Amino acid sequence: MAKCPADFDFFAPEVIESPFEFYQVLREQAPVYLLPGTNIYLLSRLDDIRQAAKDTETFSSDFRYLLQGPEPSPAAAEIYKDGYDQVDTLLTMDPPRHKVYRSLINKVFSARRVAKMQDYMEQIADELIDNIIDKGECEFVRDFATPLPVYVIADQLGVPRADLRKIKAWSDAFASRLGGMVTPEAEIENAHLIVEYQQYMVSIIRDRRAQPRDDMISDLANTTIEDGRLMTLEELLSMIQQLLVAGNETTTSAIAGGLLSLIQLSDQLQVLLDDPAIIDNAVEEILRLETPSAGLWRVVTRDTRIRGVAIPAGSLLMLRYAAGNRDASVFSQPEVMDVCRANAEDHLAFGQGTHFCPGAMLARKEMQVAFRALLQRLTNIRLVEGKNDLTHWPNVVLRGLKSLHITFEARV
């Protein structure tokens, strides 16, 4: 008997872990779907998601209370008292005010700046491979997919590489809180890490205002915005936080998930080995299939309809990018990886419209560099027997592998 949307619980761990059958049922039977017992509507078809993302007047990004996660417990709230308030800046702000902050990010993520970074990205990738190549085995998420983007964003921000583990822990804490599926113990740990991040960054911000350097934090901390003032500490903490999460969590997940798919689909891996010139297109196909930012919220500001479904003001809309990126009306055989897919770049992995990811150029460049380096220097890449459960972190918004144990040989 065919399944229907009601057969799935969107928030159930098993659906979060393996959501693709649910997405297919939604696209076919209920592309605008009200989650039972909630005021949340899921969009699962690409064109609907694209249109809603462009309509900022009806579908607002003012969802800061969701970005902060569920109401903190008394114990967590007590910890947050030692930190700084979270304010709206980039992700949770609508036009025209959003433009004030977006213009700053566009400057620090300029095409010229990203293009100049390629050589040193390649150097980082080679150094990371140097550390594992003689061992013939590694935990890929920890040893490569995490440090590559974290080193890059840390270097660009102006944070010492020696603090890599702290940076990753802080970023994970923000991602965990955003995901809305934390245990009471994790909530307390997240609170401690987030306050630690705030206090650490405030010290760096103050240093960069006193002695500016050639880094993003200096640029952000010393640039006058349209109001004729410098950003407050709270605004800067919010901006840097979003750069940290967007600058490493999603790229890490895409690199790791992409390599896993290539290992499991050896024919596609062989296509890349035979023709490295198509790696750029393969990156787009990986982004389409992996979609590390699986979805994002919008708040409905006025009564509206999508595909004839009435959506009342005050509802929440989940733009489910990961579902739209497997829409059969846009992508032929959407569940299949095809590194030569002609329209792979039609995906929405970076969002759409005003809130299109400002770090998209950086993420693409990091992934291109990563896969070129891996395929040039390693061969016979495969999964380590008995070490992989291939599960993902429980998170409503982000999707990323917990670990990936691989074995390989050096290419001669």
Res. 227: pLDDT tops 70: yes
Res. 203: pLDDT tops 90: yes
Pair 121, 127: CB distance under 8 Å: no
Cis before residue 96, ω within 30 degrees of 0? yes
Measure the CA–CA gap between 352 and 158, rounded to whole angstroms: 29
Average pLDDT over residues 232-256: 90
pLDDT tens digits along 273-322:
899 999 999 999 999 999 999 999 999 999 999 999 999 999 999 999 99
Measure the CA–CA gap between 47 and 56, rounded to whole angstroms: 16
Domains of the chain, start order? 71-293+353-374 (1.10.630.10)
Cβ atoms within 10 Å, residue 372:
17
* CB crowding 213-226: b at 16 or more within 10 Å, else e: eebbbbbbbeeeee
Q: Is 2 exposed, middle or buried (0-12, 13-18, 19+ CB in 10 A)?
A: exposed
pLDDT tens digits along 96-153:
888 888 888 887 777 777 888 899 999 999 999 999 999 999 999 999 999 999 999 8
- pLDDT at position 110, please? 76
Question: 60 by DSSP, 3-state: which?
Answer: strand
Res. 404: pLDDT tops 90: yes
Measure the CA–CA gap between 321 and 121, rounded to whole angstroms: 28
Res. 323: pLDDT tops 80: yes
